[in-house]
Structure 1
């Protein structure tokens, strides 16, 4: 698990010290799964490739930012989570148009939904601290 490598110092940003690490881990895991699904989908279904590639990039950026919490304010984290949710929504909507014909698009759409749910839970946890 990625969170095992994080020290207490890394979580010392204002308002984040008591954040539930299981919520953060779930968000990291969902972003990783979504990134992988979107990457596969972008190589299989050319009509949704741009949305999938953008979503994969956003999920990767979200994971890297969460792992490097130093210097991030709760407001900045919430903004990034909102951006990740929005990108996953765009990708999911695009992939749902092909889900009936493509198992890859269906898997990608499901991963996007799971990522949106995890990012929303993380956002809610951050805002509850706020």
Structure 2
């Protein structure tokens, strides 16, 4: 995301999210976007992992879009969404790892899911002080 958008997000009113580290949020948005793309590509291979990949792509898209909204983000809801995204990425990664030795696309998808999980966990860690 460009610096103008990040600047606008940092000045936006996000009740309950005033102390959010925008760099952590940006890393999570980027990881969700990359995972969505990798899962979409992987789902087109016709492998057994296709349904998991499609569901993961949808979840990552929803997570990313939610973080891009400048209003209405509450810590409790964001935590629940991050948990759902982590769970979906874990499931997709596990499915794709079953084909990773036969498919570079599945291996790429699994790696992308892992990166997304890590970014979502970092976002959760950054949000913990807001939960008090």
TM-score by length of 2: 0.91
Matched with 2:106 is 105
Q: What are the Cα deviations for residues 98-123 of structure 1, in whole angstroms up to 9, with x where unaligned?
A: 00010000000000000000000001
Q: How does 1:108-123 map to 2 (within 5 A)?
A: 108-123=109-124
The whole-number CA distance in structure 1 between the counterparts of 2:43 and 2:29 is 21
Following TM superposition, by how much is the alpha carbon of 1:30 offset from its aligned partner in structure 2, in angstroms?
A: 0.3
The whole-number CA distance in structure 2 between the counterparts of 1:52 and 1:2 is 28
Q: Would the alpha carbon gap of residues 114 and 44 (structure 1) be closer, same or farther in structure 2, given more than 3 Å must change?
A: same
The whole-number CA distance in structure 2 between the counterparts of 1:122 and 1:48 is 27
Question: What count of residue pairs does the alignment treat as equivalent?
Answer: 129
The whole-number CA distance in structure 1 between the counterparts of 2:58 and 2:130 is 28
Matched with 1:71 is 72
* Candidates 4, 12, 15, aligned match of 2:14: 12
The whole-number CA distance in structure 2 between the counterparts of 1:11 and 1:110 is 34
Matched with 1:124 is 125
The whole-number CA distance in structure 2 between the counterparts of 1:79 and 1:11 is 21
Q: What are the Cα deviations for residues 37-70 of structure 1, in whole angstroms up to 9, with x where unaligned?
A: 0000000143111000000000000000001141
Q: Is 2:56–2:89's contact at 8 Å kept on the other side of the alignment?
A: yes
Unaligned runs of 5+ in 1: none
Question: Over aligned residues, Cα RMSD in angstroms?
Answer: 1.5
Following TM superposition, by how much is the alpha carbon of 1:13 offset from its aligned partner in structure 2, in angstroms?
A: 1.2
The whole-number CA distance in structure 2 between the counterparts of 1:39 and 1:103 is 14
The whole-number CA distance in structure 2 between the counterparts of 1:20 and 1:83 is 21
The whole-number CA distance in structure 2 between the counterparts of 1:3 and 1:79 is 28
